[in-house]
Amino acid sequence: MYPFFYRPMFEVIEDGWHSFLPEQEFELYSSATSEWRLSYVNKEFAVCPSYPPIVIVPKAIDDEALRKVATFRHGGRFPVLSYYHKKNGMVIMRSGQPLTGTNGRRCKEDEKLINATLRAGKRGYIIDTRPLNVAQQARAKGGGFEQEAHYPQWRRIHKSIERYHILQESLIKLVEACNDQTHNMDRWLSRLEASNWLTHIKEILTTACLAAQCLDREGASILIHGTEGTDSTLQVTSLAQIILEPRSRTIRGFEALIEREWLQAGHPFQQRCAQSAYCNSKQKWESPVFLLFLDSVWQILRQFPCSFEFNENLLIMLFEHAYASQFGTFLGNNESERCKLKLQQKTMSLWSWVNRPSELSKFTNPLFEANNLVIWPSVAPQSLQLWEGIFLRWNRSSKYLDEAYEEMVNIIEYNKELQAKVNILRRQLAELETEDGMQESP
């Protein structure tokens, strides 16, 4: 595969493989709270093959308990910390579905684990990304959902995020509609609607807003899972962080988010992005889950154009590299595979390339103004738009749009230049005045 042969033509200033290590990320939380700890129980990937070697769990829960909980969760994906909301100490945890099965099996350690995140007398929310009937049917295959009787302090909310081939078909239909270049308005609108792409975006964004509301407005902790906890779960946890945490909207913060919530969290990139996005051959596990996430980020970016340090180009670049790349970052399905493939030693990290100043300038948003806000996107159909930068990229001329963007960048830079000049001149004037002042006084 290409990444193993690729030799970079640029100087590596910072090794992207080491940019976002879990211990460093944990530092950001451990300064604010002592209720959590790093666990190395999975360092041989024996407890959960799709988890990273290091995870964040409640301090009160020991590694033995974690091993037990892993047997109760799909794929061994026991609940771990995804995000800690500094404002009020509430958290987002994620996991796989509980393996309750038809017998109503329970696991006291699992209950203890998630209850450990609750303050005394407070309730939490479990957001199941599957509709109730799907969650119920899952029991026949050994899965299921958290029953009220065993989790009395938790309220369950079901959402309806689609998976697998439904999403892939949606993408195929959308791409076909965009390539159609029809002059028939009815045909275009009906094909756009039939693809359901924006419906999926709306559902994902709505769920992410719900998660964020639980944390920020209700002041409650949440646990998110679907079936496996590797697809819709990650969409929701990462989008919720974009809404809640300004750091996720910076370039480094966003890269860290992708590392944590997608790469290390074990989203199976190899399976999901196996072929090119426009491939028709029905690969069973092929699904544009990551693209839906990027599109959702783009929707929020469009609604809050000054709140993101990066621009659309970064998102488009990530989309491309998830499918085909000279870098090793998106290879493999989880950290275990990446270790086996010795990617760190044999390939280059995408972040090494992106974070070089010459590259960063392409991805930086000139309108960015750092803020501390929680940003709530509108999910009304009128507010969501087709991501032309991806879907119409090769079907329309962007010449005038690009020139307009250039002009906008020029105006902003000129503004900065003038401000700087004015400041210098003002200082000089002030100095002259004080000199005069000093000369005048005897």
Distance of CA 30 to the CA centre of its chain: 21
Nearer to other proteins, 8 or 131 (CB): 131
Interface characters, 191-230, with other proteins (x: CB under 8 A):
-xx--x-xx-xx----------------------------
Structure tokens at 243: 């809404």
Min dist CB 356 to other proteins, Å, is 27
Q: Is 382 in the site for other proteins (CB under 8 A)?
A: yes
* DSSP state at residue 391: H
Query: At residue 275, what is the residue type?
Result: Q
Interface pattern 297-326 for other proteins (x via CB under 8 A): -----xxxxxx-------------------
Q: Does 182 participate in binding other proteins (rule CB under 8 A)?
A: yes
Min dist. Cβ of residue 55 to other proteins (A): 34
Q: Cα–Cα distance between 178 and 381 in angstroms, integer? A: 19
Q: Which of residues 32-51 bind other proteins (CB under 8 A)?
A: none
Residue 185: CB minimum distance to other proteins, A: 4
Q: Which stretch binds other proteins (CB under 8 A): 26-34, 50-58, 94-102, 393-401?
A: 393-401
The Cα 363–Cα 265 span in angstroms is 25
- Rounded distance, CA 424 to CA 433, Å? 14
Residue type, 368: F
CB of residue 187 vs other proteins: minimum separation in angstroms? 7
Q: Nearest distance from residue 429's CB to other proteins, in Å?
A: 6
Comparing CB distances to other proteins, the nearer of 47 and 379 is 379
The helix/strand/coil state of 395 is coil
User: Which residues face 57 on adjacent strands?
Assistant: 37
Nearest 10 degrees: CA dihedral of 84, 321, 76, 203?
60
Q: Give the nearest distance from C-beta 385 to other proteins in angstroms.
A: 7
Considering beta carbons, is residue 28 or 408 the nearer one to other proteins? 408
Which region, judged by CB under 8 A, interacts with other proteins, from 7-15, 87-95, 122-130, 390-398?
390-398
Dist CA 14 CA 210 (whole Å):
37
- Alpha-helical runs (H) found in 347-398: 350-354, 357-363, 388-391
**Per-position DSSP letters for 235-283, written without gaps between them:** HHHHHHHHHH-GGGGSHHHHHHHHIIIIIITT--HHHHTSS-TT--S--
Q: Between residues 359 and 388, which has the closer beta carbon with respect to other proteins?
A: 388
By CB under 8 A, the residues from 317 to 376 that bind other proteins are 367, 375
DSSP line for 57-81: EETTS-HHHHHHHHHHBGGG---EE
Q: At its nearest, how many Å lie between other proteins and the CB of residue 42?
A: 39
Rg over CA atoms, the chain? 24
Two tokens, residue 101: 């099965």
Minimum CB distance to other proteins, residue 289 (Å): 19
CA distance 76 to 98: 10
The tokens describing 264, both together, are 């290390």
Instruction: Choose one: 6-14, 184-192, 231-239, 274-282; the region binding other proteins (CB under 8 A).
Output: 184-192
Regarding 188 and contact with other proteins (CB under 8 A), the answer is yes
Among 189, 279, 324, 370, binds other proteins (CB under 8 A): 189
CB of 406 to other proteins, least distance (A): 10
Token representation of residue 111: 């209950």
State how far the Cα of 327 lies from the Cα of 441, in Å rounded to an integer.
Answer: 68
CB of 416 to other proteins, least distance (A): 10
Which residues ranging from 401 to 440 are in contact with other proteins (CB under 8 A)? Answer: 401, 403-404, 407-408, 411-412, 414-415, 418-419, 421-422, 425-426, 428-429
Q: Which of 280, 319, 281, 278 is nearest to 298 (CA)?
A: 319
**Shortest separation between residue 190's beta carbon and other proteins, angstroms:** 5
Please state, in angstroms and rounded to a whole number, the distance separating the CA atoms of residues 437 and 442: 10
Our finding on whether 102 is near other proteins (CB under 8 A) is no
If one asks whether residue 284 binds other proteins (CB under 8 A), the answer comes out as no
Q: Considering the rule CB under 8 A, would residue 7 count as an interface residue with other proteins? A: no
Token look-up 């109730």 returns 132
Residue placing its CB nearer to other proteins in the complex, 33 or 428: 428
Structure tokens at 229: 């906890």
> Judged by CB under 8 A, does residue 397 bind other proteins?
yes
Residues at the site binding other proteins, with contacts judged by CB under 8 A:
178, 181-190, 192-193, 196, 198-199, 201-202, 302-307, 367, 375, 378, 380-386, 392, 395-397, 400-401, 403-404, 407-408, 411-412, 414-415, 418-419, 421-422, 425-426, 428-429
